[in-house]
Structure 1
Amino acid sequence: MKEFKTLIVLDKFKGFFEAVGVDYSIMRKILQVKLTMDSRRVPTALGNSRKKADDQDEEDSNSFIKSLWLYMILGAIMIPIVMLGENYIFQMSLIFGILIFMLMSTLISDFSSVLLDIRDKNIIFTKPVDSKTLNVAKAIHVFIYMLFLTVALAGLALITSIIKHGILFFIIFLLEIILMNLFIVVITALIYILILKFFDGEKLKDIINYVQIGLSIVIAVEYQLVGRLFNIVHINVTFVPKWWQYFIVPIWFGAPFEVILKKNYNTNFIIFSALAVIIPIISIALYIKFIPVFERNLQKLNNNTSRGKKDSKRLINAISKIVCLTKEERSFFTFATNIVKNEREFKLKVYPSLGFSIIFPFIFIFNDLRSKGWSKIAASKMYLTIYLCAILIPTLITMMKFSGKYKAAWIYKVLPIKETASIFKGTLKAFIIKLLIPIFIVESIIFMGIFGLRIFDDLILVLLNMLLYVVLCFKFTKKALPFSQSYEVAQQGEEVLSTLGLMMLLGALWLIHYVCALNSYGVYMCILVMISIDAIAWRKAFVI
C-alpha cells in the first residue's frame, strides 16, 4: 500500500497514542487502509469528485485534496482581516469565528457519517483490534481531512500573517488551528456519545438529526455573537469583558495573541487563553475515556424497531391527493417522503441546512435590533428576510439524485412510467411539504407576531416565489433521476459554485418583491402574475 505523508508525520506522536492505551501499529494500518480506499473511491463523508477509473495515477490520488482550491479562494476573505492592524483580539476572534463556522458546518454535514459508521466492526472486530484503537483511528481519519480543509481555508491568511506580523504570530496561529480542529472533532464526537447514551432505536436516529439542526443553529448564532463582543466607534475597536463571553469559543483562540505578542496580561485574556489550551485537552481525555461506552452504544443504530404510524401514513396519503395531479406523482410523493423520513445518510447530509434555514431569517433582524429597536423594525420591510429560509432549496435539489440505496434505481426501467416529469414533480413536492413548508409556516407565524398581519399578503408572495425558486434550481442543476446515484459521485466543488449562483437567483426574487412592495397594490399584482408563472413553470419545466 501507498505510504502517506500524513502518517509519517503522525509517527512523531506514536508515544502519545501508546501512552493513552492505543495500539499505534494497528491504528496506523487502519488509517493507511482508509486513506488508500479514499484515493480509490469517493466516500460521502469526504465529498470528493468523480475519478476516471482507467487512469492509475488518477486512481492513486485523493480527489478531495484536488478540490481544496475552492476553499482556498473562500479563505481569501480572511487576508484583509489579518492585515487590519494589531488589534489581535478582534482580528483573530473574527478569523477563528469564520473558521469554526465553516469547519463545524462541514463536519456535521459531511463527516458525521464517519464518526457514526458501524460497518467497520463487521470486518475489523473479527481481528484482534480493541474498540479504543478503532475509534481513535476514526477520529484521526476525520481530523486529517479537517486539517487539510483548514489549511486550505486559512493557508493564505497564514502566509499573510508571517509577512505582516512575523514568525511568532504564525507559530501561534498554526498551533491554535491544530487545537481548534481537535476541539471541533472531539466535541462533536462527545455530543454524539451523550445522545447515544440516553436514546435508542429509531428515536436515537431522529435525535441525532435534531442535534445536527441544533448544532447548525448554535454555530450560526455564536458566529454572529463574535461581532458583538466589540464596540466599533470611529474605526476604533474596543473590547468590553462580559461573563457570557467565556462561552464564545472563537475569543478563546483570539486571546493568546494579545497575551503573548502584546504582553497584555488582562485577567480575561489569560483565562480565555487557558481555555483555548485546556478545553481541547480535556475534551480529548474525555473522548478517550468514553470510547468503550461510545462503541457499545453505537450498536443502537442497528436497532430498527419502530411501531407503525398509521395516522402518519394516512396524513401523507391525504396530502398527496391534494398536491399531486396524477397517480404516478402520488406514488413518487409517498416514496420520496419515506426516503426523507427513513434514510439516515440523506438526513445526515440535508438536516444541517435546516438549521441555517431556521436561524438565518432572524439574524438580520437581530443585527438591526440594537440600533433601531422593535418599533422601527416592526414598521420596516425586514420581514423580507424570510426569503433566507429558502437557502435549504439548493441543497435539497442537489441531494435529490443521491441515495445510499442507489442500486435499486433499476426499478425506474421496469415501471410503466409514461414520463419522467411525474417522478421529479412528485419527489420535489414531497421535499417541499416535508421539509420546506413546516419551516416556512413556523417562521411566518413568528414574523406576523413581529410585523403584524399586514405582511400576510407578502408571505403569500414569498411562498409563490419560493415555488418558482424550486423550479429555477432544478433547471440550473445537473439532472438525474431521484435517488439514482451514489453519494460517492457528488462533486462538491461544483455544488458549492452552483449553490452560490442559485443564491443570486434568490436575491433577484427578493429584489422583485421589494420593488413591488413599494407600491400599494404591487404585491397583489405580483401575486396574480406569480400564480400564472408558477402554474406554467411546474407544468413545463420537468419535461426532460
Structure 2
Amino acid sequence: MTEFYVLKLLDRLQGVFRRTGVDYPVLRSILQVKLTMDARRTPTVLAGGKDNKQTTAEGSPFRIQWIYLLLGLMLILFVVQDGNYIFSMSITFAILMFMIATTLISDFSSVMLDLRDKNILFSKPVNRRTLNMAKSLHVLIYLLTLTLTVTGPSLIVSLFKQGIVFFLIYAAAVILMDCLILVITALIYLLILRVFDGEKLKDIINYVQIILSIGIAVGYQLVSRLFNLADLTVSYEPAWWQYLLAPAWFASPFELLLGGNRSVHLTVMSVLALVVPVLLLAVYIKLMPMFERSLQKLASEEGAGKDSGNMARRLSELFCQGKEEALFFRFTWSMMRNERDFKLKVYPTFGLSLILPFIFIFNVLWGGGGLEELRNTKAFLFIYFCALLMMTAVQMLRYSTSYRGAWIYKTIPLPGLSPVYRGMLKAAILRLLIPLFVIEGAIFLWLFGVRFLPHLIIVLPALLLYSVLCFRLLPKSLPFSEQYSAARQKDFTGSAFVQMFILMGLAGLHYVISLIPFGIYIYAPVLVIANWWIWRISFPRAELGGS
C-alpha cells in the first residue's frame, strides 16, 4: 500500500492525537486506505476527459494538481498589484472560493456523507472518536492540498513582491476561508439531514448543489459590483450588502492594515473574516456527533419518492405517435426522475440556464436604465440562453450508472431506432426545457409587457428546433446505455461550439426579423414548418436500425 508523505507528517503529531483519546495506529491505517482509494477514483473535474482505463489509472484528485496549479498562476496577476487591495484581493478570494467550493462539493460530498466505513469499522474495535477524526482529517488533507496547489504560486510571489506582512495576512485568510467553506458545506448538509430522510434526502442534496451553483453565479455579479470603473480608475464605495460577501471580508484586512484605510466599514468586515469562520468551526465541532448520527438516515430507504407514472403516461398519449415511442418516452421520463447521477450533472445546468438570462438583464438595469427603458430594448432575446440546458441534457441522456441493463434493448422487437430517439428527446423537452421556458417566459412577460407575447410565441418553436439540432450534432446512442466514465470530452467539445454558434444564430435571426414590420408573424409559420421538416428527417418512420 502506498506510503503517503502526509502520513509521515502526521506521525510527528501522533502524541497530540493520543492525548485527545484517538487510537493513532488505527487512525493512520484508516487514512492510508482512504487515500489509496482516492487514487482509484475519477474526480468530477476529469469526468469525461478520458476513457475508462485511463481514468482508472490517472483519476486521483491528488494526481491532477497541475490543473489547479495552472489555474492558480492567474492569481499572481492580482497579488502583485500595489494599492487598492480591496479590489485586487476581493477578486482573488472570489476566484479561490469558487474553485475550492465547487471542487469540494462535486468531488468530496461523497466523502463527507460516506457510510461504508461505518458499516465495516463499527464491527471492529474502533472507537467513534478515532473514526470521526479520520473522516475530518481526510477532508482536511484534501482541502489543504487543493488550496496549497491553487494559492502556492501567488503566496510565494507575494512574499517577495509585497513583503512578509502581506504574506502572513494572505496565508491566514486562506486558512480561514477553507474553514468557512468546509463548515458551511457541512452545516448545510446537517440541516438537510435533520429534516429529511432516506432517498428524499439524497435528492435534496442534489438540489442544494444546484442552489450553490446559482449562488456562485449571482455572487460573482455582486463581487464585480463592489467597484465603480470609470475612466479605468477603480473606486470603492461601501454598501450594506457587502457585509454578505465573504470575498470582501477576506480582502478587508489588506486594505485596513496595508492600504491605510481605517474606515469602520472595513474594520467590521475584517472582524467578520476572523470571527465567522472560527465561530462556525466551533459550532461544527460541537455538532459533529449529531452530524454522524444523522448520516444513518442515508442508509434508510424510507421516504423514497413513488412515481405513479400518471403524468408520463398522459403526456405520452398526447405527444407520442406509436406504442414504441410512448414506451421510451415513459422510460426516459422515469430515468430522468430516478437517475441521481443524471440529475447531479444536468440539474446544475438547469439552475444556471434559469438565472443566466436575468443576470444579463440585471446588468442592463444596473447600467442606469429603468424598467421602462428596458422594455424599449431587445434584451428579451436573452431568453434564448435557457436553451443551454439542452446542450448538457441531450449529451447526458446516453449515460447511466445502470448501463449494464442496456442488454434489454436487444430483446425488444423494434422496427427501428427512430421511435426510441423520438420518445427520448420528447421526454427531455417536456420534463426539462418546457418547465424552464414557462418559468422564464412568465417573468419575461412581466418585465417586458404584453408586447413581448408574439416574440415569446416565436421563441418556443425556435428552442424546439434547437433541441433537435443538438441531438443531431451529438453521437447517437441508446438512452442510458453507457457508463459515465466512458464519456469522451473530445466527442463533445467540437459540437458544443457548433451548438453555441447555432443558438446565437437563432437569437440573431430573431433580432433581424424583429426589425422588419410584421416580420415575426411571417417567421412563426416558417419555424413551425422547419420543426416539422427537421423532426421528419431526423427520425424517419421507415428507418430500420441496428444498435
- Partner residue in 2 for 1:519: 516
Shift of 1:177: 3.3
TM-score, structure 2 as length reference: 0.85
2:217 corresponds to which of 203, 220, 223: 220
Q: Residue 46 of structure 1 contacts residue 110 of structure 1 at CA under 8 Å; is this kept in 2?
A: no
Cα deviation 1:63-95 (Å, max 9, x = unaligned): 545656666666666565556652110111122
3-state DSSP of counterpart to 1:231: strand
Assess, with a 3 A threshold, how the Cα gap between structure 1 residues 33 and 483 changes in structure 2: closer, same or farther: farther
- Consecutive unaligned residues in structure 2, runs of 5 or more: none
Shift of 1:337: 1.7
**Does residue 381 of structure 1 match 2:378?**
yes
- Consecutive unaligned residues in structure 1, runs of 5 or more: none
1:274 corresponds to which of 265, 271, 275: 271
2:354 corresponds to which of 336, 354, 358: 358
Assess, with a 3 A threshold, how the Cα gap between structure 1 residues 154 and 528 changes in structure 2: closer, same or farther: farther
Q: Where do 1:118-267 residues align within 5 Å? A: 118-131=115-128, 133-134=130-131, 137-138=134-135, 140-145=137-142, 161=158, 165-166=162-163, 168-267=165-264
Shift of 1:374: 1.0
- Partner residue in 1 for 2:293: 296
**Does residue 322 of structure 1 match 2:315?**
no
- Counterpart Cα distance in 1 of 2:17 and 2:392: 39
Q: Residue 346 of structure 2 contacts residue 396 of structure 2 at CA under 8 Å; is this kept in 1?
A: yes
- Counterpart Cα distance in 1 of 2:422 and 2:116: 34
- Counterpart Cα distance in 2 of 1:158 and 1:502: 40
- Counterpart Cα distance in 2 of 1:182 and 1:223: 21
3-state DSSP of counterpart to 1:40: coil
Q: Residue 205 of structure 1 contacts residue 301 of structure 1 at CA under 8 Å; is this kept in 2?
A: yes
Q: Residue 82 of structure 1 contacts residue 157 of structure 1 at CA under 8 Å; is this kept in 2?
A: yes
- Partner residue in 2 for 1:331: 327
**Does residue 344 of structure 1 match 2:343?**
no
Shift of 1:388: 2.1
- Partner residue in 1 for 2:443: 446
Q: Where do 1:29-178 residues align within 5 Å? A: 29-42=29-42, 47=47, 49-50=49-50, 53=53, 61-62=58-59, 64=61, 80-82=77-79, 85-131=82-128, 133-134=130-131, 137-138=134-135, 140-145=137-142, 161=158, 165-166=162-163, 168-178=165-175
Q: Residue 49 of structure 1 contacts residue 64 of structure 1 at CA under 8 Å; is this kept in 2?
A: no
- Counterpart Cα distance in 2 of 1:536 and 1:356: 31
- Partner residue in 2 for 1:413: 410
Shift of 1:363: 1.1
Shift of 1:443: 1.1
Q: Which amino acid aligns with 1:198?
A: V
- Partner residue in 2 for 1:487: 484
- Counterpart Cα distance in 2 of 1:155 and 1:474: 43
**Does residue 399 of structure 1 match 2:396?**
yes
- Counterpart Cα distance in 2 of 1:244 and 1:20: 42
- Counterpart Cα distance in 1 of 2:139 and 2:494: 24
Q: Residue 86 of structure 2 contacts residue 251 of structure 2 at CA under 8 Å; is this kept in 1?
A: yes
Cα deviation 1:93-144 (Å, max 9, x = unaligned): 1222233234434444444333333333332333334455545544554555
Assess, with a 3 A threshold, how the Cα gap between structure 1 residues 272 and 396 changes in structure 2: closer, same or farther: same
Q: Residue 252 of structure 2 contacts residue 266 of structure 2 at CA under 8 Å; is this kept in 1?
A: yes
TM-score, structure 1 as length reference: 0.86
- Partner residue in 2 for 1:2: 2
Q: Residue 209 of structure 1 contacts residue 348 of structure 1 at CA under 8 Å; is this kept in 2?
A: yes
Of residues 225-234 and 38-47 in structure 1, the stretch that sits farther from structure 2 once superposed is 38-47
Assess, with a 3 A threshold, how the Cα gap between structure 1 residues 216 and 156 changes in structure 2: closer, same or farther: same
3-state DSSP of counterpart to 1:485: coil
- Counterpart Cα distance in 2 of 1:133 and 1:333: 50
- Counterpart Cα distance in 1 of 2:325 and 2:530: 21
- Counterpart Cα distance in 1 of 2:70 and 2:206: 30
- Partner residue in 2 for 1:368: 364
Cα deviation 1:251-293 (Å, max 9, x = unaligned): 0121122234334333332332232233223333333322222
Q: Residue 131 of structure 1 contacts residue 295 of structure 1 at CA under 8 Å; is this kept in 2?
A: no
Shift of 1:336: 1.9
- Counterpart Cα distance in 2 of 1:132 and 1:329: 55
- Counterpart Cα distance in 1 of 2:471 and 2:41: 27
Assess, with a 3 A threshold, how the Cα gap between structure 1 residues 537 and 81 changes in structure 2: closer, same or farther: farther
- Counterpart Cα distance in 2 of 1:348 and 1:187: 20
Shift of 1:445: 0.6
- Counterpart Cα distance in 1 of 2:517 and 2:65: 49
Assess, with a 3 A threshold, how the Cα gap between structure 1 residues 208 and 454 changes in structure 2: closer, same or farther: same
Shift of 1:193: 0.3
Q: Which amino acid aligns with 1:39?
A: A
